[in-house]
Amino acid sequence: MAHKSASKITVKNVIELAELYKSGKTLNLDSWAAFHRIFRVTSATGYMKTPAELEEKLAKWFHREDDVGPEPAIERAKRQTVVRIFDRWACNQTCFNAARACKPSCTRYKDDLSRQRSISDMPVADRDFCQPYKFTAIDTFGRLENNSALTASNVAKYDALHTMIVFKEHSPSNITEAKIFDMLNLSAQWFEMAHKEHPNFIYPNISWNCRSRAGASQHHGHAHMELAEEFHYGHWERLKQISQLYSQEYPGRNYFNDLVEAHCTLNLAQQCGSAWIIIHAVPYCGYELKVICWDFNDDFKLAVFKAVHVLVNDFDSQYFNVCIQFPPLENGKQRPPLTSCPKLQKMGSEDRMPYIAHLVDRGDFNKGTSSDVCSMRIYGSAIVNEDPFILAQKLNWF
C-alpha cells in the first residue's frame, strides 16, 4: 500500500483543517496531493439570538468544567462553527459541530436499556442461538463449525444465499482475536462451499450488527454472510465505479491507494502489516473506522480485530455495525495473494478492488435513547460531533 511519510504539518482538529485548507498552504505539497485529489473542506459560523428564558437552559447544556459563570456557555451556544468535509468521488460528506454533543436528548427508557443489556449478556437456555443445534436451520450442504462459531442458515433471508455465523459465546461484544479469525476463516469456508453448490454466485459480503440498536434481531452474538450472483451488492458496486472513474481522471493512481495516503497525511491511519486501519475523515456516525487490504490474509484479519477492539474498548461502543466487502471469488476461492507486487501502484488497476471492512458505532444510550438516524443523515449529510483528530490523539496515533 501507500508508504506512510511524516507530514510536516500536524492538524489537531477539524477547525484547524478547515483553516489550513482555506489558506491554500498545502496545495503544492506532494504529501498533501492525495488529500486534495479526494477531499474538499469548508467551514462557516452560525449565529443566533436567544430569549432570556432560554439562556438558563443553554448555560446548563453547554457548560464546561472550566467555565467561570454562565456567560461562556451561552456565548458558545450563540456562535457555532461547522466544518464540512466532502469526498468528491464517493460523495460522502460530514458536517462536524462539537456543540451538538451538548444538545438535549431523550433519556426515557435509559434505565430499562441499561438493565436489559447487563441481564441479556448472560446466556439464556431457551434462546435460539444459545441452543443452535436445536433452534437454527442448516444449509443444504451442511453446517460448518470451528472453535468460536458455527453456521446457521437464516430463516428470513436478505438474499437467496444468506447464512449466519453464530458465535458460541453469548455476549455480543466480548471480542477476542481468536473469535475474529475464526469468524473470517469460517466465512471463507462457507463462501467456497456455497459457490460449489451455486457456481454463478461469486460476490461475498459479511454484515455484523451488534445488539438491537445496531439492527440485531437477537442479542446473542452473530454475523451474516451473503453470496450474490450477477453483480455485487450496491455499495460495493458504487465503490468500484468510483475507483474506475478516479483512475480515468488520474491515470496510474488508485482511489483506495490515495484514500489511505490522504489519511496518513492527516495522521488518521495506522499500518498493520499489509493492511491499513483508518479513522474515516468523513464518518457516517461519530466513530467510523475502515480497514483496507489487498489480500485476505492474517494482516487483514488482525486489522479487523484491532479496529473492533478500538470501537469496543477505546471508544466504549456497545452498539456497532461491521460490513466486510470481498472482491468476487476467483475459481471459487478468495483471489490469490499479491505477493509478487509489493507496491500498491503495481497491484491496483481500474478493475481491481481491495478487501474493505467498514465499522461504525451506533451511539451511546447513556447519552440518550433517541435514534442516531434522521432524514438529514439519510438524504443529506452525516452530522457528527466527534472530531476524528481528537480520536486519533486518544489512540496515540500522533
pLDDT in tens, 216-238: 888 899 999 999 999 999 999 99
What total number of domains does the chain contain? 2
Establish if 7 belongs to a structural domain: no
Please enumerate in sequence order all residues whose Cβ is within 8 A of that of 201, keeping only pairs 6 or more positions apart, or say none: 160, 161, 194, 195, 227, 228, 229
Same domain, 241 and 326: yes
Same domain, 90 and 165: no
Does 3 have pLDDT greater than 50?
Answer: no
Establish if 123 belongs to a structural domain: no
Which of 105, 140, 167 lies at the terminal end of a domain, its last residue?
105
Residue 230, CA distances (Å) to 80, 189, 331, 352 in order? 48, 21, 15, 17
Establish if 2 belongs to a structural domain: no
Same domain, 143 and 87: no
Same domain, 238 and 310: yes
Contact 76, 99 (CB under 8 A): yes
CATH number of the domain within which 218 lies: 3.30.428.10
Same domain, 99 and 151: no
Query: What's the one-letter identity of residue 90?
Result: A
Question: Nearest CA to 318 among 181, 183, 175, 217?
Answer: 175
CA dihedral 285, 289, 292, 297 (to 10 degrees): -130
Does 367 have pLDDT greater than 80?
Answer: no
Could you tell me the residue range of the domain that residue 175 belongs to? Answer: 128-395
Average pLDDT over residues 95-117: 66
- b/e string for 108-130 if b means 16 or more Cβ within 10 A? eeeeebeeebeebbeeeeeebbb
Same domain, 89 and 148: no
Establish if 248 belongs to a structural domain: yes
Same domain, 171 and 60: no
Establish if 210 belongs to a structural domain: yes
Residues 248-307 pLDDT 10s: 999 999 999 999 999 999 999 999 999 999 999 999 988 999 999 999 999 999 999 999
Same domain, 349 and 213: yes
DSSP class of residue 125?
T
Question: Nearest CA to 281 among 362, 382, 371, 370?
Answer: 382
C-alpha–C-alpha distance, residues 63 and 75, integer Å: 10
Same domain, 299 and 200: yes
